[in-house]
Amino acid sequence: MQIKGRLTLYLILFSVVPLIAVSLFLYQLASSVVQTQAEKYAGTVLLQTTSTVNQLMDDVVNASVKLVTDPVVQNDEAPDQEEFARTLRYRGIEKLMNNVVMAQPEISSMYLCLNNSDLISVGTLNVAGKRPDCRGTNTYKAALDNNLMPLWIGMHENEFDEGTVSRNRYVITLARTVYSPDTYKPLGVLMINIEDGTIKNSFQAGFDGETAEFLVTDTRKNAIYVKDPDRYGTKLESRYLDRVVQAKASGGFAWKDEGGDRKYISYVYSTKSDWIYVAELPMNYITRHSQLIFKTTAVVVIACIVIAILAAYMLARKFTDPIKNLLASIRRVKDGQFNQTLHTKRKDEIGVLTQSYNGMILEIRNLLIRLDTENVMKRRAELDALQAQITPHFLYNSLNSIKSLARLNGQSVIYRTVTSLIGLLQLSISKNTVFLPIREELEMTKHYLELQNIRYPNRFQALFEVEDGLSDCSTVKLILQPLVENAIVHGVDLKDGGGIIVIRIYQDNLDIVMEVEDNGKGMEEEALKMLLKEQPREGRLTFGGLGLRNVNDRLKLHYGEGYGISFRSALGSGFTSTVRIPLHPFVTPSQLGG
């Protein structure tokens, strides 16, 4: 894939993925908030509807109190009155009942069943013998059994419906016994009905006509009000009712019925009537605003994705077109065309890159010109180098000639001196390497000691203590010779003789320790601390210009700060130089593949 395609893809990913992630997060958050608010709203509406129904029931109870406490209704002499007087009394009671119905239109019908089986209702006056005995109805019996307390009877078929004054066949009834104020003798039962349509309309009004199913049950799951009249007076079998009944409180929860439909169950427990008001709402009622949020979010995200793709393509093209021009110029340069440069007016990084590229082309032109000149100079330098190689060969050949003449003439001292000098030069100067085996370092040190013994005969002796197996290990070149030279020049007494120099090499864990110890005059502690800080003074340089500080610096350069030279001494008790290097076997260039 070309860089423009990759850049476009990356820009789209970096813009679209965070956008989608943030949108999903915000959608989930908003949906959760909206759903929570919808659940709270559903519970609030159901609670308000329940309060409305309870208020209606309270109004009916208050109306019943006015009726059952009216003197006309509580006249216990009625059975002994003549028919005319009794009729007048019944008409008075009917008028009272009519006033209540006119004041409260929610009341669909009202009946007063007296102990003599007479039934009084609004618009109809029934006396004994004209209809079945009202005292045989279930409502009448339930009210007498409940004594003085009013009794609400759940939705049932109206037992006195004659197709005249009742508005509906199914009603909720408030029944209460009428007592004599003097004797507390039951005089009859007052029954006030509220049609099922009034209850249904109260629920539907609260939920704005949503297709919700409402029901009212008692704590024993008896149907007080349900949508299907055939279920009035039966036990409700919905599985969620056990949870609702046990709660005896207000709340709501999501529920999946046997058919797989998801619903939201909102319920309110009324302590006044000991009834539970339940609303079964389709889940889309709770999530309808979430769906609107989802659709809106989807439209916005898709629009943003389209804009992001277009912007990413245009931006990628803006950056890649100059690069394409730059690549075309590089191909021309590859073919040897250095005469064309790129023109740009950009001030950004690509502009700087183009300008740098133009400068590079100009520099290459100049380099090619200089290269031709330097090639000529290089040939001359190679000739000079070949000429310089003649000098070491000439020096070795001359020393070998002196060595042969000394041997022929019996000059053993000159012979030994030249032999040691040749060995020292071969090991120290001619070998163009940094590392060498310890055995060669020892051999070079022995050549140096031989030269010093010729210079100072019988003034000192050197002892070697080398642990087995360390001779083939690697060390930096010219480490021991400067330490031995320091011991001869500054340590042992060359005038009186008796000087001893011990060269000791041994292994300490994963390190190699090389010590050069003499029995000379030693050094004070303060001077010892300054030893590696002092520059070598003119006229006191060691062999090849290598001093103690030089040795220490080279060791730290090659092995690190943990390695180098250390000293220990006391005035009049000798001097010891200690070198610590890591344990490494010596590797030749051929072993490295060189």
What proportion of the chain, given as a percentage, has pLDDT over 70? 79
H-helix or E-strand containing 63? helix 3-68
What is the residue-wise DSSP string for 190-254? EEEEEEHHHHHHHHHHHTTT---EEEEEETT-BEEE-SSGGGTTSB---TTHHHHHHH-S-EEEE
Please report the pLDDT score of residue 544 as a whole number: 36
Higher-pLDDT residue of 406 and 524 is 524
Please report the pLDDT score of residue 320 as a whole number: 72
Please report the pLDDT score of residue 516 as a whole number: 94
- Among the residue ranges 50-54, 294-298, 544-548, the one predicted with the least confidence is 544-548
Tell me what the mean pLDDT of segment 530-545 comes to.
52
Strand partners, 275: 218, 270
- CA distance linking residue 395 with residue 236, whole number of Å: 124
What the block records as the tokens of 329 is 């110029």
What the block records as the tokens of 432 is 């163009």
Please report the pLDDT score of residue 390 as a whole number: 44
Please report the pLDDT score of residue 577 as a whole number: 92
Question: What are the Cα distances from residue 397, in Å, to 326, 412, 544?
Answer: 62, 19, 21
Please report the pLDDT score of residue 328 as a whole number: 74
Each as own residue / partner, the long-range contacts of residues 562-569 (CB below 8 Å, 24 or more positions apart, any chain) are: 563/511, 565/483, 565/532, 567/523, 567/528, 567/531, 569/522, 569/523, 569/528
H-helix or E-strand containing 176? strand 170-179
pLDDT at 129 over 50: no
What the block records as the tokens of 96 is 């009272």
pLDDT at 127 over 50: no
pLDDT tens digits, one per residue of 268-283: 988 878 889 888 887 7
How far from each other are the two terminal CA atoms of the chain, in whole angstroms?
Answer: 42
Instruction: State CA 386 to chain mean position distance.
Output: 69
- CA distance linking residue 360 with residue 340, whole number of Å: 12
Question: What are the Cα distances from residue 453, in Å, to 261, 425, 443, 444, 461?
Answer: 112, 18, 15, 14, 8
pLDDT at 142 over 60: yes
- CA distance linking residue 426 with residue 433, whole number of Å: 12
Residues 123-143 as b/e (b if ≥16 CB within 10 A, e otherwise) read: eeebbeeeeeebbebebbeeb
- Among the residue ranges 34-48, 186-200, 457-471, the one predicted with the least confidence is 34-48
DSSP letter (8 states) at residue 491: I
CB atoms within 10 A of CB 90: 20
Tell me what the mean pLDDT of segment 89-105 comes to.
88
pLDDT tens digits, one per residue of 490-523: 888 777 778 899 999 999 999 999 999 998 888 8
pLDDT at 386 over 50: no
Strands 499-508 and 460-466: parallel
pLDDT at 167 over 60: no
Tell me what the mean pLDDT of segment 219-246 comes to.
85
- CA distance linking residue 357 with residue 338, whole number of Å: 11
Tell me what the mean pLDDT of segment 443-458 comes to.
85
pLDDT at 579 over 90: yes
Please report the pLDDT score of residue 175 as a whole number: 93
Confidence of residue 285 (pLDDT cuts 50, 70, 90): low
Check: CB of residue 191 under 8 Å from CB of residue 114.
no
- Among the residue ranges 359-373, 401-415, 471-485, the one predicted with the least confidence is 401-415
DSSP letter (8 states) at residue 522: -
pLDDT at 39 over 90: no
Instruction: Return the amino acid letter for 496.
Output: D
DSSP letter (8 states) at residue 488: I
Please report the pLDDT score of residue 540 as a whole number: 42
Strand, helix or coil at 106?
A: coil
Please report the pLDDT score of residue 7 as a whole number: 67
Please report the pLDDT score of residue 514 as a whole number: 95
Please report the pLDDT score of residue 551 as a whole number: 86
Confidence of residue 181 (pLDDT cuts 50, 70, 90): confident
Tell me what the mean pLDDT of segment 529-535 comes to.
70
- Among the residue ranges 36-50, 173-187, 533-547, 570-584, the one predicted with the least confidence is 533-547
- CA distance linking residue 69 with residue 79, whole number of Å: 18
Tell me what the mean pLDDT of segment 396-425 comes to.
71
Each as own residue / partner, the long-range contacts of residues 149-152 (CB below 8 Å, 24 or more positions apart, any chain) are: 149/176, 150/61, 150/64, 150/174, 150/175, 150/176, 151/175, 151/176, 152/57, 152/273
Mean of all residue pLDDT scores within the chain: 78
What the block records as the tokens of 211 is 């297709």
Please report the pLDDT score of residue 191 as a whole number: 92
DSSP letter (8 states) at residue 135: G
Higher-pLDDT residue of 476 and 206 is 476
For 257, half-sphere exposure in the C-beta direction (CA atoms, 13 angstrom radius) is 13
DSSP letter (8 states) at residue 544: G
pLDDT at 453 over 70: yes
Confidence of residue 326 (pLDDT cuts 50, 70, 90): confident
Please report the pLDDT score of residue 400 as a whole number: 66
Tell me what the mean pLDDT of segment 524-538 comes to.
69
- CA distance linking residue 553 with residue 559, whole number of Å: 10
Instruction: State CA 69 to chain mean position distance.
Output: 74
What the block records as the tokens of 120 is 């009084």
